[in-house]
Amino acid sequence: EAGVTQSPTHLIKTRGQQATLRCSPISGHTSVYWYQQALGLGLQFLLWYDEGEERNRGNFPPRFSGRQFPNYSSELNVNALELEDSALYLCASRTGPQTFSYNSPLHFGNGTRLTVT
Amino acid sequence: DAKTTQPTSMDCAEGRAANLPCNHSTISGNEYVYWYRQIHSQGPQYIIHGLKNNETNEMASLIITEDRKSSTLILPHATLRDTAVYYCVLYNFNKFYFGSGTKLNVKP
């Protein structure tokens, strides 16, 4: 089974530009999560999509946005890039629906390394 | 405040068991304990998860204390390829809370 795929692997942008990152979940997974991992730090939750809807977002400014398409793939957009946006952006997918008695792990891609200069 | 606390780093000799602790003293009754690891420049890899009972799979064992305030991930026979950052994660209905992780160094 193919894993979570992310593109591009690396992305270099200039401050003030926009970046678009893409994610294809594992086949059959309807939920997509996005995380930011700055160099040497842990994972910070960005966004969660399920069945095409944004279900939750982390403590990030509105210039971080995204969407989920009918085929469950997802896109993360970062507008007005700042130097501190340089990080590894990780996408993960999982099956649904989720209840207390049933939950499934996240499966991660290998990320997009965004560098803002 | 962080929901989990882990040592920053640990060393382990190759072939020996690696025991990675995690404190989660404020865990709620609905929260699961998950463990992931991240090898340099890759995405995190799922290892194991549990609610109350101890769990074992082909990768590791998870020991959760009776009061659920702490847990230990056990790699029974560590190899050099187990060198990674190990994250203790709390899950509560669609929300995953990642800790800061423990860098495990497996040495020959």
- Residue B92 pLDDT greater than 90, yes or no: no
Q: Report CB contact under 8 Å: A103, B32.
A: yes
Neighbours of A77 (CB within 10 A): 13
- Residue A101 pLDDT greater than 60, yes or no: no
Share of chain B above pLDDT 70, in %: 98
Higher-confidence position of B101 and A1:
B101
Residue of chain A whose alpha carbon sits nearest to that of B90: A105
User: With an 8 Å Cβ cutoff, is B86 touching chain A?
Assistant: no
Predicted confidence band of residue A99 (pLDDT cuts 50, 70, 90): low
User: With an 8 Å Cβ cutoff, is B87 touching chain A?
Assistant: yes
Burial (CB count <10 Å: 0-12, 13-18, 19+), residue A21: buried
User: With an 8 Å Cβ cutoff, is A26 touching chain B?
Assistant: no
Q: Report CB contact under 8 Å: B42, A110.
A: yes
- Which of A43, A48, A108 comes nearest B94 by C-beta? A48
> Which whole number is the average pLDDT over A88-92?
97
pLDDT tens-place string over residues B54-63:
999 999 999 9
Contacts 24+ apart (CB under 8 A), A38-47: A38/A84, A38/A86, A38/A87, A38/A88, A39/A86, A39/A87, A39/A88, A41/B100, A42/B87, A42/B98, A42/B99, A42/B100, A42/B101, A43/A90, A43/B44, A43/B87, A43/B98, A45/B95, A45/B96, A45/B98, A46/A76, A46/A89, A47/A76
Give the per-residue pLDDT at B95.
85
Most B CBs within 10 Å, among A36, A43, A94, to test the B interface:
A43
> Which whole number is the average pLDDT over A89-109?
82
pLDDT tens-place string over residues A35-67:
999 987 889 999 999 989 999 999 999 999 999
- Residue A18 pLDDT greater than 70, yes or no: yes
When mean pLDDT is compared across A81-90, B6-15, B33-42, the lowest value belongs to: B33-42
- Residue A102 pLDDT greater than 70, yes or no: no
Give the per-residue pLDDT at B1.
58
Query: B98 CA to chain A: closest CA distance, Å?
Result: 6
Query: A66 CA to chain B: closest CA distance, Å?
Result: 18
